[in-house]
Amino acid sequence: MASSPLMSFPEDRPPEAANTAEAALEELRRQNAELIEAVAARDTFIAVAAHELRNPMTPIVGQIDLLLAALQAGRYSSGQVEHRVRRIRRAMDHFIKRAGTLLDVSRITSGRFQLALAPCDLSDLVRETVETFTETARYSGCSFRIEVPESLPGAWDRLALEQILDNLISNAIKYAPSRPVTVSAEDFGSLVRLRVRDYGPGISAGDRARIFERFERAVGANERRSGFGVGLWVVGQLVAAMEGTIVVNDAQGGGSVFTVTLPRYSETNRS
- Is residue 185 within 8 A of residue 148, CB to CB? The reply is yes
Please provide the size of the chain in residues.
Answer: 271
Task: Report d(CA 100, CA 160) in Å as an integer.
Answer: 12
> Could you give the C-alpha distances from 54 to 122, 226, 245, in angstroms and in order?
24, 11, 26
Q: Identify the CA nearest to 61 among candidates 29, 31, 91, 25.
A: 91
Q: How many CA atoms lie within 13 A of 98 on its CB side?
A: 24
- Averaged pLDDT in 10-residue chunks for the chain of 271 residues: 51 67 83 76 64 71 84 84 81 68 59 80 96 84 95 93 90 90 96 95 81 57 44 85 92 91 76 49
Position 103 scores a pLDDT of 58
Position 195 scores a pLDDT of 97
Position 254 scores a pLDDT of 87
Position 80 scores a pLDDT of 84
Task: Report d(CA 154, CA 152) in Å as an integer.
Answer: 7
Position 216 scores a pLDDT of 46
Position 145 scores a pLDDT of 96
Position 108 scores a pLDDT of 62
